[in-house]
């Protein structure tokens, strides 16, 4: 099961109480105050980990609490601090305050950490209150409570190439052919109910990640079909590969399909149309009439975008397409590196 949104409650550990105590030792007739401080409560820390790719582990465990600090003891012994609670999230997770809606952190890389709730400080023991005018204080401080907050986690897949297109455009078949991903494939709409990631390896350490985004339909940005549930995953892609069914069994006009998908992307976020886009005619092995492929080629020329005619079943046209996609991804990576330096 794929889960790309979750709401959890976290509670950092409370600080331990300080203690009131006095020395009671042989040969120490005037033992002074010796109450130790309480230990600090444990933090709640979120850490991005490549071992996770969904938020499903939060579904049945929405409440998380860190250890509290131990109380202080006599002989000036400080209580042990509570252990921090570390929660793993997949890279691509964005953290929000569920109450205010404030964006707290964007885990856009593995092994990033964010302290979501800080543990309470321990209270001071009576030894801390000793002064020249109060040499035997009989009071201490209680520990401070740890932070408690409600968090909303939203996952956006970290992929280089996003596959977009109408249901049954051939996205799942393509990603299963070019990578080790094994999405469900069938000849009815909305076969794919959750995004799939696949790694394309061209050799010589040339790799990129492809995301199979479930089929879009008109009105998707308003929640129709699978709605905006998966449109958010496209926002992180470096390039969009628009797939259009060119087979004789296609039921939607090629240009109409193209315009509808562009309109949905623009309605969700105009920034999506600024991304590099490649147009591919799919299922050409089942296209007896070349007119639909020619129509798409002419459309790509008018839109000034690269065009490829492919068949994921026979493999025709796949290598030139993958090479072109990699070159776009490589340029994007180089530009991102240059901006960081």
The full set of domain ranges for the chain reads 1-155, 161-340
Residue 282 has pLDDT above 80, yes or no: yes
Quick one: pLDDT at residue 38?
A: 97
**What pairs with residue 63 in β-bridges?**
9
Task: Note whether 211 and 163 are within 8 A (CB).
Answer: yes
CATH 2.70.210.12 fits 1-155, yes or no: yes
β-bridge partners, 240? 162, 277
DSSP state of 99: T
Per-residue pLDDT reduced to its tens digit, 251-281: 678 888 888 888 888 887 888 888 999 999 9
pLDDT band (50, 70, 90) for residue 94: very high
| pLDDT tens digits, one per residue of 142-158 | 999 999 999 999 888 77
- Which residue has better confidence, 188 or 171? 171
**Which of 131, 196, 130, 129 lies closest to 162, judged by CA?**
196
With bands split at pLDDT 50, 70 and 90, how would you rate the model's confidence at 226?
very low
Would you list the DSSP string of 52-68? --SSGGGTS--EEEPPP
Can you tell me which residue has the tokens 């591919």?
280
| CATH T-level topology, domain 161-340 | Rossmann fold (3.40.50)
**Higher-confidence residue: 109 or 216?**
109
Q: What is the mean pLDDT of residues 117-134?
A: 94
**Contact between 172 and 310 (Cβ < 8 Å):** no
Indicate whether 214 pLDDT > 80.
Answer: no
Question: Between residues 21 and 193, which one has the greater pLDDT?
Answer: 21
What pLDDT shows up at residue 102?
Answer: 95
CA 18 to chain centre: 41
* Secondary structure class of 206 (helix, strand, coil): coil
Question: What's the mean pLDDT in 78-98?
Answer: 94
Residue 14 makes CB contacts below 8 A (sequence gap 6+) with: 41, 68, 69, 119, 120, 143, 144, 145, 146
**pLDDT tier, 191 (very low <50, low <70, confident <90, very high otherwise):** very low
Q: What is the reported pLDDT for 224?
A: 41
């Amino acid at each position: 099961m794929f889960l790309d949104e979750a709401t959890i409650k976290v509670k950092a550990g409370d600080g331990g109480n300080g203690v009131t105590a006095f020395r009671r030792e042989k040969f120490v007739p005037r033992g002074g105050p010796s109450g130790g401080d309480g230990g600090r409560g444990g933090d709640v820390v979120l850490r991005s980990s490549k071992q996770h790719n969904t938020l499903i582990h939060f579904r049945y465990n929405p409440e998380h609490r860190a250890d509290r600090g131990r109380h202080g003891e006599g002989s000036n012994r400080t209580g042990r601090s509570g252990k921090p609670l570390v929660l793993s999230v997949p890279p691509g997770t964005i953290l929000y305050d569920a109450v205010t809606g404030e964006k707290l952190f964007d885990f856009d890389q593995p092994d990033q950490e964010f302290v979501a709730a800080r543990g309470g400080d321990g209270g001071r023991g009576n030894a801390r209150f000793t002064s020249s005018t109060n040499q035997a204080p009989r009071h201490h401080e209680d520990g401070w409570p740890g932070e408690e907050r409600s968090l909303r986690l939203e996952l956006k897949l970290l992929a280089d190439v996003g596959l977009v297109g109408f249901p049954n455009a051939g996205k799942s078949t393509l990603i299963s052919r070019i990578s080790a991903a094994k999405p469900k494939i069938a000849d009815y709409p909305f076969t794919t109910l959750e995004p799939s990631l696949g790694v394309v390896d061209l050799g010589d350490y040339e790799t990129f990640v492809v995301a199979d985004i479930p089929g879009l339909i008109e009105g998707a940005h308003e929640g129709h079909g699978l709605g905006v549930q998966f449109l958010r995953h496209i926002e992180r892609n470096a390039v969009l590969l628009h797939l259009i069914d060119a087979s004789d069994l296609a039921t939607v006009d090629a240009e109409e399909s193209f315009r509808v998908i562009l309109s949905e992307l623009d309605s969700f976020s105009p920034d999506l149309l600024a991304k590099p886009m490649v147009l591919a005619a799919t299922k050409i092995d089942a296209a007896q009439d070349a007119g639909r492929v020619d129509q798409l080629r002419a459309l790509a020329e008018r839109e000034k975008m690269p065009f490829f005619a492919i068949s994921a079943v026979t493999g025709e046209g796949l290598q030139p397409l993958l090479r072109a996609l990699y070159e776009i991804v490589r340029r994007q990576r180089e530009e991102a590196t240059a901006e960081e330096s």
